[in-house]
Amino acid sequence: MTQHDVLRRPPATDPACPDWCVTDHEACDGEENWIHQSAPIFVTPDITARLCMSVDPDTGAVDGPQVLIGDIEYSPDAALQLAAALMQLAAIRP
């Protein structure tokens, strides 16, 4: 899987599962199963960025989505600002 394939996967069988989720929910128990995560993008060999969201199966309450980079949660707007700053940095030429 390349980083461009992060948001592509077969259709989810759980209607609460967003189409970007790659979590193996059959292997999760309890509240772990409420969390939906995208495939990782490796920021460094040890740090990943993922989209994550929780959905309470009983109430339907949704928390997220958030962008999780390492252990830090970013709102989608904050992640977009970080991405824009990184693109500006990468575009600098001598």
Size of interface with Zn ion, in residues (CB under 5 A): 4
Does residue 23 interact with Zn ion by CB under 5 A? yes
Does residue 54 interact with Zn ion by CB under 5 A? no
Q: 47 and 70 in contact (C-beta within 8 Å)?
A: yes
Three-state DSSP at 65 gives: strand
Distance CA 35, CA 24 (A): 10
Among 36, 53, 65, 68, binds Zn ion (CB under 5 A): 36
Does residue 53 interact with Zn ion by CB under 5 A? no
Distance CA 63, CA 88 (A): 30
Among 20, 21, 65, 66, binds Zn ion (CB under 5 A): 21
- Minimum CB–partner distance for residue 18 and Zn ion (Å): 6
